[in-house]
Amino acid sequence: MTDSSVLDLAPVVPVVVVEDVADAVPLARALVAGGLRAIEVTLRTPAALDAIRAVANEVPDAVVGAGTVISPQNVADSVAAGARFLVSPGWTDTLLDAMKKSGVPFLPGVSTTSEVVALLERGVSEMKFFPAEAAGGVPYLKSLAGPLPQARFCPTGGVSLGSAPSYLALKNVGCVGGSWMLPADAVAAKDWARIETLAREAAGLE
């Protein structure tokens, strides 16, 4: 991993919701075995921080990060748990300051041109575009490339195996975030082999 970029780790960053911390390590191992090293564990469940800690400690080949980061406390807790990058669905000055001071790479979320310009003004050029499909998808990001070529994005939200290549073809997209390689029934069944297969398919996207 470079000092600053989450966008260049892999074409796809799995967005993981962990309900049971016991699933975290085998799930992460399956994703890494399939070629997806960067793993975003969202802070949407009580198990999330323990899951990040477990993956950070037990899956050395994974680059585990925290998603749904919405407060300075989330930032502090995530980094303390071992998160190596941070992702937020949106941003405020307070949250951005906390992420900047965290010492780890981060992707603040944007969905409008004004938010992109505001981040560029603050010296941030790598962002999460969320919710990607609902906010305008591929055409929207394509239209931003002309006036704002310095901004690079990780579109997340409604991105699928079918739509991912269209996003990845854009010059201002470094990677996409998604959860299609983590179908709920496979996670519930602890079918890690299936998840590894789906991860390998995702890792092959360009």
Nearest to 137 by CA among 116, 118, 158: 158
Q: Which of 115, 121, 126, 128 is catalytic?
A: 128
* Residue 89, token pair as written in the block: 């669905």
100 is catalytic: no
Q: Which of 40, 101, 196, 201 is catalytic?
A: 40
Four-residue CA torsion sign, 61, 65, 34, 164: negative
Closest CA to 65 of 115, 106, 12: 106
CA proximity to 38, closest of 55, 21, 23? 55
Q: State yes or no: is 128 an active-site residue.
A: yes
Contact between 83 and 114 under an 8 Å Cβ cutoff? The reply is: no
CA separation, residue 113 to residues 133, 162, 165, 175 (Å): 15, 26, 23, 19
Q: 52: Cβ–Cβ under 8 A, 6 or more apart, which residues?
A: 24, 41, 64, 66, 78, 81, 82, 83
Catalytic positions: 40, 128
